[in-house]
């Protein structure tokens, strides 16, 4: 699978989201971090902002739900036009039902795992997934340091995915920059979320090109 870059608007200017989306025409996705003050100790945005953003850009939205009740809310993000909706395994009470609902509404279904959550217990859920997201920081805030300790899990996840036909995308999120992206790509990730490394750069579009080139180099 070709490398995909999903810049996180958490590091963008929330007062100018349409402009910030337009600043990254080379992005494959826009990563939208939804936080609710319960699953994580931070609050960001919700459905109304996703609906507005959907109208303001053609770039597909990659919604990462860091919320306490994803079973209740995730389908509405699919209905709002998100191209991909990712729920956390630690929060979902009926992940299979919710993932199926996301898919039936036409979005890609993703499952996210915190750094300390093992991937092996979720092997039987892989057929329900279009993407597995491995957090490489504790969720809640941008600008944190990449956790190298997650890399062995990225490798194990890549092996599990290969055993299940290799169809599922493997996303990493947190502390991904021009340096750490190489280690993630070598370990088997193919979708890369980057907040500060893109929106903290003076030229976000050039930053994406740089990240993509570094990941491509690491894989080849």
From 42-50, 56-64, 73-81, 148-156, span contacting Zn ion (CB under 5 A): 56-64
Compute the least distance from the CB of residue 161 to ligand DX5, in Å: 21
176 in contact with ligand DX5 (CB under 6 A): yes
Query: At a CB cut-off of 8 Å and minimum separation 6, what does 175 contact?
Result: 136, 137, 144, 145, 146, 147
99 in contact with ligand DX5 (CB under 6 A): no
Compute the least distance from the CB of residue 211 to Zn ion, in Å: 15
Would you call 19 a catalytic residue per the annotation?
no
Catalytic residue selected from 33, 36, 130, 177: 33
> With 0-12 CB in 10 A as exposed, 13-18 as middle and 19+ as buried, what is 157?
buried
Taking a C-beta distance cutoff of 8 angstroms, is the pair 112, 86 a contact?
yes
Compute the least distance from the CB of residue 204 to ligand DX5, in Å: 12
Catalytic residue selected from 28, 36, 130, 173: 173
Q: Is the Cβ of residue 162 or residue 213 nearer to ligand DX5 in the bound state?
A: 213
Residue 3, CB-side half-sphere exposure with 13 Å CA sphere: 23
From 49-57, 70-78, 97-105, 133-141, span contacting ligand DX5 (CB under 6 A): 133-141
H helices of the chain, where? Answer: 17-22, 47-56, 70-79, 95-104, 151-163, 180-187, 196-199, 204-219
Q: Which residue has the tokens 């209905």?
A: 79
CA distance 98 to 6: 23
Compute the least distance from the CB of residue 157 to ligand DX5, in Å: 17
173 in contact with Zn ion (CB under 5 A): yes
Q: Which two tokens stand for residue 68?
A: 């306490």
Taking a C-beta distance cutoff of 8 angstroms, is the pair 74, 34 a contact?
no
Q: Which residue is nearest to ligand DX5 (CB)?
A: 195
36 in contact with Zn ion (CB under 5 A): no
Compute the least distance from the CB of residue 12 to Zn ion, in Å: 13
Q: Is the Cβ of residue 57 or residue 144 nearer to ligand DX5 in the bound state?
A: 144
108-113: strand order across its sheet: 4-7, 191-194, 169-173, 131-135, 108-113, 84-88, 61-66, 30-35
139 in contact with ligand DX5 (CB under 6 A): yes
Binding-site ranges for Zn ion (CB under 5 A)? 33, 64, 173
Tell me the catalytic residues: 33, 173
Binding region for ligand DX5 (CB under 6 A): 8, 10-11, 31, 33, 64, 137, 139-144, 173-176, 193-197
């Amino acid at each position: 699978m070709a490398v995909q870059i999903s810049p996180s608007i958490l590091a963008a200017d929330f007062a100018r989201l349409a402009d910030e989306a337009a600043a990254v025409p080379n992005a494959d996705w826009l990563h939208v971090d939804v936080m609710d003050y319960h699953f994580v100790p931070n609050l960001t945005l919700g459905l109304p902002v996703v609906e507005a953003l959907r109208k303001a850009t053609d770039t597909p939205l990659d919604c990462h739900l860091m919320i306490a009740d994803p079973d209740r809310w995730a389908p509405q993000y699919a209905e709002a036009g998100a191209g991909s909706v990712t729920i956390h395994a630690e929060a979902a009470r009926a992940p299979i039902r919710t993932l199926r609902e996301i898919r039936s509404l036409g979005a890609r279904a993703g499952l996210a795992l915190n750094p300390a959550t093992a991937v092996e217990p979720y092997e039987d859920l892989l057929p329900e997934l279009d993407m597995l997201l491995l957090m490489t920081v504790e969720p809640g805030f941008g600008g944190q340091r990449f956790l190298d300790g997650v890399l062995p899990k990225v490798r194990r996840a890549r092996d599990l995915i290969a055993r299940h036909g290799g169809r599922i995308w493997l996303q990493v999120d947190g502390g991904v920059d021009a340096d750490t992206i190489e280690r993630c790509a070598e370990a088997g990730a193919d979708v890369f979320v980057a907040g500060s490394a893109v929106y903290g750069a003076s030229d976000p579009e050039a930053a994406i090109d740089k990240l993509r080139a570094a990941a491509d180099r690491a894989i080849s």
